Structure 1
Amino acid sequence: MARYQSYDGTPLAYRTLGPAVDHPAAPTLVCLAGGPGRDAAYLEDLGGLDRELPLVLPDLRGTGESVAATDPAGYSFPRLAEDVEALREHLGLERFALLGHSAGAVVAQAYAARHPGRLSHLVLVTPGTRLQDRPTTDAQEIFHSRPGEPWYPEAVAALERLADAHELAEIKRLLTRVAPGTYGHWGERQRAHAAAEVSQLHPVPRAAFWQGVDEAVRRGVTDALGALAAPVLVVTGDRDGASGVAAGAVVAGQFPNGHHMTLAGCGHYPWVDEPEDFRRTVTGFLLAGRPGAA
């Protein structure tokens, strides 16, 4: 685990995987965790992306090995985007590729809006549409399309209670029960990945992620994305009972060079469900210009 100082002097942590960050044949890929407020450890190596790409995985402020913010406003996604800019400066990168998963895709979009010239590529994995303020409903349909699976009755009951839960301990317990509906399959690999979430979520970073974000801030981000020159890939999973597939089309549609690809048999964590398909899709986009072409 390495460290850098952010814009306000706060020491933040990151780890690197794969080739050196200045590798001449592949763009450095900075990978942002979601949650919000979840340790980056759950991203693992993103299905083996480190075989061909230099990966940088920061623990966002208040998660993992990074210290807590002195002001909760430091956890808001526009401020987290400035932590990413400080990381770029620390790494000495003129341009780089940026990947954001779930809530991390919001931070990635905020970064793209503020620092568009720094990005060679943008990859958004299973994003939602709260930033765009365009709700989609197919995630619920996907979740409820699997009533024959043994986990389904308990998961449905937990999902109904989750909307009214406020205590983090209760939220974590319910998320564990809901988890099967957010993966493409519910095998040993998925169970182990889901079980880690309980210890990886942090309450204040999670609660403050949208703090201070009003309509003007949100529109400022989304309006700026319409001029982003970098190519954008939005990846969704056809079994994602958390974000769904329609959200990917909404998010991709705001970019002039946006592409949306849905992976079969994948849920909210496609590198867990179908790692080779995910790896091939992302490396194909970053190295060959076409998803899945590597």
Structure 2
Amino acid sequence: MPASRKTRALLGFLVLSEAPQRRDRLCDLFWDVPDDPRGALRWSLSKLRPLMNTGGRTRLLADRERVQIDPGTISVDFHKVRMQANGETEKASTLEQAWERANHLLMENCELPNQSDFGAWLEHKRGEVSRLRIRLARHLAMSGDAAPENTEVWAERWLMDAPFDPVAAQCAVAAKRRLGRQHEAESLAEEMDRAFSEAGLDQPDWSVDPIATGVSFTPIAHELNTEETPQQVVRFAQSEDDISLAWATVGKPDNPPLVKAANWLSHLELDWEAPIWSPQFRELAKSYHFIRYDERGCGLSDWDAPEISFESFVKDLELVADAAGLERFPLLGISQGAAVSIEFAARHPDRVSHLILFGGYAAGWRHTASPEEVREREAVMVLTETGWGRANPSYRHLFSQTFMPSATADELAWFDEFQARTTSPENAVRFLEAFSTIDVRERLKDIRCPTMVIHSRNDLRIPMSSGRSLAAQIPNAEFVGLESENHLLIGREPASMEFLKAVRRFLQTEA
């Protein structure tokens, strides 16, 4: 391994990230400006090439803009452990080996104290390893056919990593009882009672034997935090033109509300388990009563919609806010949902306490595009109508790769399938046409609530200039730039954590 700590850290980041990384992003993550970041990056890559490109294989791929380690040419323990932790049919011996792999500090001696963004990314990844280790120990402890001695070992390991998980505590106590060690079981129960009480938590019910009753084992995605959030509740509201609109709430009802306007595309059930944006949704649901809905024409809402237009989008947001019984609330608008949110806030200044706009724009391409761009976009709409529902995802890739250029192959494949299951080819074209005619430029000056505009600096779908323009024209708006090229943030990227941090800080300000 290279002697340079930063070079080792760079190697670990490239291996675990899988997707191509922009050189500018790597420079910001690992080097300060006075250090000649581009020169330092070139030096580190020169040290990694002879290490990676061996046996006639080129594993380290680099051009003038991007750097990547080809994921198809290497085997990574981290990815194996994640796959095995999410599998239901793995043998006990395989899970035990996976736990041993996870029982080591990820990227040891690669910490960079002065690089806060890299530190946040590394902390997140180490947290994921810890959660995978918990998951493996839980599965082994809950295995009904394991020997009692093994059950006790894995229950104790589970409890060690998750000391305030009541099921882990119940399992550890039950395992000792099964071995006939009643006194040890009672002592552990008393110790846990004190710990839970001091932490302000309800004490576990020691009469429950989770080994006998079983606990569900469901796959997890790349998560920011795996603490359980309340299950979402889906309801339906009826529009004036007789459309059944699906909307959902998640999070404690006594938490402050946060409404997310609909954007391309959504499905309340499928995207709650998404490997892409569900981590942000789940995090928001821990602090807020999070409310979102499927736009007419997609998801769980009626697909057979007589009207799909900007005006119908605004009315649907009004319908959901009324159905949820909300008088005044913060509003989150993403992509074209930002324009819908702007119009709503301008129409109802007394109802919106805070306005958050991410990846937004004020005017669709029919108002701003050159004749050449118009022809190109209209051609895409024709391709969409003819190819959207086909098994070959190449047509839907037109959208996937511009929405999330740094997504992995698996993430793009998920998004391609998600799009196909979310709406019909006809409705996809109707949505694109509706988005093209959006124009709220004259409404920006009418916004009266505190507003924060967030935009990915290298967004390939909607350029950052659109976000800057929004912030410049909305009175007293705050602007936050994120180090990402994704129009839709991916849960695993550091920019996703920065987005959540900015939202939480902003919503704490007085309206």
TM-score (norm 1): 0.74
Paired position in structure 1 for 2:387: 170
How many angstroms does 1:94 deviate by? 0.8
Paired position in structure 1 for 2:65: none
Aligned 1:81-120 pairs, distance under 5 A: 81-120=314-353
How many angstroms does 1:30 deviate by? 1.3
Pairing partner for 1:77 from 296, 301, 310: 310
Pairing partner for 2:267 from 14, 39, 62: 39
Distance 2:424 2:343 in 1: 21
Distance 1:201 1:239 in 2: 28
* TM-superposition CA deviations, 1:105-134 (whole Å, max 9, x none): 222222222222211111111113425987
Decide whether the 8 Å contact of 1:16 with 1:57 is kept in 2.
yes
Distance 1:176 1:182 in 2: 10
Correspondence 1:280 to 2:501: yes
How many angstroms does 1:93 deviate by? 0.9
Q: Does the C-alpha gap of structure 1 residues 115 and 14 become closer, same or farther in structure 2, counting only changes over 3 Å?
A: same
User: Which segments of 5 or more consecutive residues in structure 1 lack a partner in the other structure?
Assistant: 138-159
Paired position in structure 1 for 2:147: none
How many angstroms does 1:198 deviate by? 3.3
TM-score (norm 2): 0.45
Paired position in structure 2 for 1:150: none
Paired position in structure 1 for 2:474: 255
- Give, as a single letter, the amino acid of the residue that structure 1 aligns with 2:463: G
Q: Percent identity?
A: 24
Pairing partner for 2:444 from 205, 211, 225: 225
- Give, as a single letter, the amino acid of the residue that structure 2 aligns with 1:179: S
Q: Does the C-alpha gap of structure 1 residues 162 and 209 become closer, same or farther in structure 2, counting only changes over 3 Å?
A: closer
Correspondence 1:207 to 2:207: no
Decide whether the 8 Å contact of 1:113 with 1:222 is kept in 2.
no
Decide whether the 8 Å contact of 2:296 with 2:305 is kept in 1.
no
SS in structure 2 at match of 1:57 = strand
- Give, as a single letter, the amino acid of the residue that structure 1 aligns with 2:322: E
Distance 1:174 1:214 in 2: 19
User: What is the alpha-carbon root mean square deviation over aligned residues?
Assistant: 3.4
Q: Does the C-alpha gap of structure 1 residues 133 and 112 become closer, same or farther in structure 2, counting only changes over 3 Å?
A: farther
* TM-superposition CA deviations, 1:195-244 (whole Å, max 9, x none): 323332444444334778999x94xx432331221111111112311112
SS in structure 2 at match of 1:275 = helix
How many angstroms does 1:60 deviate by? 1.0
Decide whether the 8 Å contact of 2:249 with 2:289 is kept in 1.
yes
Paired position in structure 2 for 1:155: none
Q: Does the C-alpha gap of structure 1 residues 162 and 179 become closer, same or farther in structure 2, counting only changes over 3 Å?
A: farther
How many angstroms does 1:10 deviate by? 3.0
Higher relative contact order, structure no. (Cα contacts within 8 Å, ≥ 6 residues apart): 1
Aligned length: 259
Q: Does the C-alpha gap of structure 1 residues 132 and 194 become closer, same or farther in structure 2, counting only changes over 3 Å?
A: closer
User: Which protein shows a greater Rg?
Assistant: 2
Correspondence 1:10 to 2:239: no
SS in structure 2 at match of 1:60 = coil
Choose between structure 1 and 2: higher strand proportion: 1
* TM-superposition CA deviations, 1:150-185 (whole Å, max 9, x none): xxxxxxxxxx97762314253663342563454363
Q: Does the C-alpha gap of structure 1 residues 39 and 162 become closer, same or farther in structure 2, counting only changes over 3 Å?
A: farther
